[in-house]
Amino acid sequence: MKNIAVFASGSGSNFQAIIDAVETGELEAEITLLVCDKPGVKAIERAEKHGIPSFVFSPKTYVDKEAFETEILEKLNDAEVDFIALAGYMRLIGPTLLNEFEGKMVNIHPSLLPEFPGKDAIGQALEAGVNETGVTVHYVDNGMDTGPIIEQVAVPVYEDDTQNHVRKRIHEVEHELYPKVLQKLLHPAEVNSN
């Protein structure tokens, strides 16, 4: 059984989807750590409710990114983490973590990358007037949503859509897609044999 850590900065709805998939057996893994850079957010409550240990920190209390990533790395090692899933973690990952988890760290992003990277991807899509956006799961590298793409699903955008309409549609896709992709990545042999 692989141990995974989830990194989140907000409500943690994708974190919850991963928890649910683990609890139903759809995702064969154990979540051994939540890493959160925003004290007081809902993701932390979700971890407590499911008995998942958390490491919560405030980046501004550290000298620099290397300092807090070094502490994160210690916590990941203590929790015997094999793989990292970023789920709404709003920070670029630095070399301290990238070097240790190269090829073992993925992110989910609410657009069809390379379109609309970074913050407010849904707002960017609406502003651009596109008729579809989507969801991308990709490996994490040192850029802003620039790592190799693993899987993408298109999501329609309708003329009278608000951000909330599109966000709801995207969340539905994300919550189904992310656990499935994680299962494939963590258990590649099983996928190939079916």
Active-site residues: which are they? 109
Query: Phi/psi at 10 (nearest 5 deg)?
Result: -140, -130
Cα–Cα separations (whole angstroms), residue 113 to 96, 116, 173, 190: 25, 7, 15, 28
What is the edge-to-edge ordering of all strands in the sheet holding 132-139?
54-56, 29-36, 2-8, 83-86, 105-109, 132-139, 149-156
Beta bridge partners of 5: 33, 84
Closest C-alpha to 6, from 50, 60, 70: 50
